[in-house]
Amino acid sequence: MPELRRQYHFRPSPNGYFAWDVSRLIDLSANLPVFELSLDKIAEIDEMWWFQTEDDRPTPRAICNHFRLMQQAELDFPVIVCPQGRIMDGMHRIAKALTSGAQSVKAVQLLQMPDPDYRDVQPSDLKT
């Protein structure tokens, strides 16, 4: 597996965000069965995913950075979805698949929701 950049999955919490370390999510999902997830079933591709906080704005530079990450994304690695089917890791792979005309991506689904690694943080608190 290629070396991963440090990254987190965020969901709103009462005083900021819950954050899951993606490296831990990968470890937790390593032995789960892989299946094909239809891109039509991924609600997040029509929702605000990136650029959700005031300090993360869709400047041309930021958009180009996401574009570069999409280009580098490896579609051989499955995306990770939570028990309710929401994406926890893999949006750059999903975007790459979507732009290439694919109908699905490889995915694994967690059986239970892990506790977050951080509670009530801001995304900028965890940037490396």
pLDDT tens, residue by residue, 114-127: 999 999 998 888 86
Give the separation between CA 83 and CA 80, rounded to whole angstroms: 10
Q: Is 2 within the bounds of a domain? A: no
CA proximity to 69, closest of 78, 57, 81, 61:
61
Q: What is the pLDDT of residue 123?
A: 84
Q: Are 106 and 78 in contact (CB under 8 A)?
A: yes
Instruction: Please state the domain count of the chain.
Output: 1
* Residue ranges with strand state E in 1-128: 8-13, 16-21, 35-38, 79-81, 87-89, 104-109, 118-121
Q: Is 120 within the bounds of a domain? A: yes
Q: Is 1 within the bounds of a domain? A: no
pTM to 2 decimals?
Answer: 0.87
Q: Is 3 within the bounds of a domain? A: no
Q: Is 49 within the bounds of a domain? A: yes
Give the residue-averaged pLDDT of 33-40. 98
Q: Is 46 within the bounds of a domain? A: yes
Q: Is 74 within the bounds of a domain? A: yes
Q: Which residue range forms the structural domain that includes residue 77?
A: 8-126
Helix, strand, or coil here: 64?
helix
Give the separation between CA 54 and CA 63, rounded to whole angstroms: 15
Q: Is 62 within the bounds of a domain? A: yes
State what percent of residues in the chain have pLDDT above 90.
70
